[in-house]
Structure 1
Amino acid sequence: MLPKLTVLKKDIKVPEVKGVYIAVVHEYNDIYKTKDWNAYIINDKGIDLEMVIIVSEGYSETKKTAAFRKRLDKLPAKSYAKIELLQEDLFALNNAFKVSFFEGNTMLDKTYLFRKNTINLKALQTIPLMDVKGVLVK
C-alpha cells in the first residue's frame, strides 16, 4: 500500500508573469479612414514566448459576449502582436484577456482585466515597445 500524499495549496508554486502586457490602443485605420481601438499583446521580455493562447470576453452582471480565441505559435522577445479590434460598445463591460504561454519548458498564465469604462481617451498612456498611446494592463 502506498502512503497517502498530501499537497497543500501553499506548497504549489505558481510562477508570476512579468514583462507581458495587454494594451488597447486608439489608432488610425488607413483602410477605413477611422480611429479604431485594437487590443495587443506585448512581450517585453528578453525571451520568446511559445504557444500563446489568448481568450477574451466582455461581461457584466447582466451581459456576456462570446469568447474570442487567438493563438500565436511564437511571440518573439521585445515584440507585440495585434489580438483583435474592439468595438466601443464593449467598454461598458469588463473586458478580460486570459493569456497562457510557454516560457522555455514552463507554462504560465495570467488574466488581464480592463474594468468597465476604463478604456477611454482620458486614460491613454505611453505603451512599452510600441511608441503609441493606449490603455495598459500589466
Structure 2
Amino acid sequence: MKKDIKIPKVENVTLAVACTINKLNQEEWSVHLINRNEYDIENTLVSSTGYGEQDGEQQKTSTLRHFLETVPARSSILIEPITADIFHLNNEFWVSYYVDGRIYDKKFIFLPDTIKEENLIYIKELDTKGVLHS
C-alpha cells in the first residue's frame, strides 16, 4: 500500500540563486546545488522550469534537465545560469538523488520576486551573496 512506502526526508541539500559581478561589471545570476552533508550524493537529476503570470498573461519557460553524477560532501555545484528577466515567475527546481541506493527528492520553488537585492545573504559555500532556499 501507498501508506507503507517510506519516503526519506531530504536534509542538508538545498539550492541557492547567487549573484556575481563579471569582468564588465554586470550582474550574473546562477543556480547552485549545495550539499551540506558529510557524504556524497549520487546520480542527481535537476529539472527546472519557470511559470506564472505577468500583466494578466500566462508565462512559462522551457523545462531544463541536468544530470550530476556525484556531488561531493560539503560542496556546491553550478546547475545553470539564470536571467533576472524571469524572477517575476515561480522558479521551480525538482531535485532527485541517491544515497546508499535510496532515492531522495524534493521540489524547491523560488516564489515570484523573492530573488531581489533586499533578500540577498552571504552564502559561505559559494563565497558570494544570493538567495538561499530554506
Q: Normalising by structure 2, what TM-score?
A: 0.91
2:38 equivalent in structure 1: 46
Other structure's SS at 1:80 match: strand
Percent of paired sites with the same residue: 38
1:120 equivalent in structure 2: 116
Aligned counterpart in structure 1 of residue 20 of structure 2, from 18, 23, 27: 27
| Distance in 2 separating the partners of 1:98 and 1:126 | 24
Aligned counterpart in structure 1 of residue 66 of structure 2, from 63, 70, 84: 70
* Alignment check: 8 A CA contact 1:56 1:68 kept: yes
Whichever residue aligns with residue 51 of structure 2, its letter is Y
Q: RMSD over aligned Cα, in angstroms?
A: 1.3
Whichever residue aligns with residue 51 of structure 1, its letter is N
Whichever residue aligns with residue 48 of structure 2, its letter is S
Q: Does 1:59 align with 2:51?
A: yes
* Alignment check: 8 A CA contact 1:44 1:128 kept: no
Cα deviation, 1:6-58, whole Å, max 9, x if unaligned, reads: x1x4322111101001000011223x542111110000000001111100000
Cα deviation, 1:82-102, whole Å, max 9, x if unaligned, reads: 111111111010000000101
| Distance in 1 separating the partners of 2:128 and 2:36 | 15
Aligned counterpart in structure 2 of residue 15 of structure 1, from 8, 23, 26: 8
1:4 equivalent in structure 2: none
Say how many residue pairs are matched.
130
| Distance in 2 separating the partners of 1:88 and 1:115 | 13
1:89 equivalent in structure 2: 85
Name structure 1 gaps, 5 residues minimum: 1-6
1:132 equivalent in structure 2: 128
Q: Which has the higher strand share?
A: 2
TM superposition shift of 1:132:
1.8
Name structure 2 gaps, 5 residues minimum: none
Q: 1:128 to 1:104 in 2, by over 3 A?
A: farther
Whichever residue aligns with residue 16 of structure 1, its letter is K
Structure of greater Rg: 1
